[in-house]
Amino acid sequence: MSAVLPTARAADKARSMTPARPRRRLDPKYLPLAATISLFAAVVLAGSLRYDGFFSLQVFLNLLIDNSFLLVVAVGMTFVILTGGIDLSVGSVIAFSTMVLATLVEQHGWSPAPAIAVVLVMGTAFGAFMGLLIERFRLQPFIVTLAGMFLARGLCYLISIDSISITSEAYTELAQLRVPFFAETSLSLGAVIGVAVLLVAMYVAHCTPFGRTVYAIGGNEHSAHLMGLPVRRTLVGVYALSGLCSALAGVLFTFYMLSGYGLHAVGLELDAIAAVVIGGTLLSGGVGYVAGTLFGVLMLGVIQTLIAFDGTLSSWWTRIVVGLLLFAFCLLQRVVSLRAGRR
């Protein structure tokens, strides 16, 4: 017995001297993304328990089909916000793209491919012009893109004050094309393009020098300059990318609406910003993930779907819920910033 006690005491002493393993804690920068994914899963679970047929693959795919244009424009907005900027012109560029596309296809008899190419080049050039003004003259992105918003929306009415329907057979076939997915489910061409844009953007953001420079600018632009990174070229490129995504979103919008109109996509820039913020990208820049933007867009879509399944609520409840979510995520971003500051 006397031999056992010293051995036990020695073991206890040895355990007390061994440094405890640090607990693995979630990095604060992942908190907004984790919150978005968890909330999305909870909302989908609640909807599936309350409504028959809500938890089905086609209902989930419909979220992508109905919001493909929002996903594309939100991807471009993610890169802008990661640099600490903002782009308020995206909704107007979408509307202008639909007007130009409808005019070329319907009134001038162009085939869809060259008309779409012209629209994409136009959107890229418009975004690059705003980026050049922001970078060269050190203007505030809010003011420059606000001017771009008014300019693009005004140009719509130089073309026509009325809606221009797209009745081209070739274009209608593209809009109605369905891509089989699994069993009896399918995706629209717009949804497939949206997912492809998302995957390419994820690669660009996390696996290319351009993406790393975007994060560096958002973290500290002055430090990025001192590191020898191409800050000026990247800033112009980010707004050019946003313009390209906006023009492509305009193409997808015509697939969805089969028309061009100067009042298309009014306020869509706010939906895009909301999706990016809910997806976990900090408005101050430097922190965020393109994959999070997908869940932000899906969150907006699932809220609309829940209201549609309910049938008794006005569509304005979507805005109310999104507003509450934005308040919550802005507070969460503040918590993340404070925790990061203590490190």
Identify the CATH number of the domain in which residue 279 sits: 1.10.3470
Q: How far apart are CA 95 and CA 153, in angstroms?
A: 7
The domain tally of the chain equals: 1
Q: Are 298 and 137 in contact (CB under 8 A)?
A: no
Mean pLDDT of 47-72: 91
- pTM, rounded to two decimals: 0.90
Q: Determine, yes or no, domain membership for 8.
A: no
Lowest mean pLDDT, pick from 29-38, 86-95, 219-228: 29-38
Predicted confidence (pLDDT) at residue 208 exceeds the cutoff of 70: yes
* Mean pLDDT over each residue of the chain, to the nearest integer: 90
Its domain, for residue 77, covers: 27-342
Output the pLDDT for position 18. 52
| Centroid of chain to Cα 336 | 20
Per-residue pLDDT tens for 304-337? 988 888 877 777 888 888 899 888 888 887 777 7
In b/e form, how buried is each residue of 315-326, taking b as 16+ CB within 10 angstroms?
eeebeebbeebe
Q: Determine, yes or no, domain membership for 297.
A: yes
Q: Determine, yes or no, domain membership for 202.
A: yes
Output the pLDDT for position 182. 83
Regarding predicted confidence, which is higher, 247 or 48? Answer: 247
Q: Determine, yes or no, domain membership for 161.
A: yes
Per-residue pLDDT tens for 215-245? 999 999 999 999 999 999 999 999 999 999 9
Q: Reduced to 3 states, what is the DSSP secondary structure of residue 328?
A: helix
Mean pLDDT of 23-49: 82
Predicted confidence (pLDDT) at residue 19 exceeds the cutoff of 70: no
Output the pLDDT for position 312. 79
Output the pLDDT for position 338. 73
Q: Determine, yes or no, domain membership for 306.
A: yes
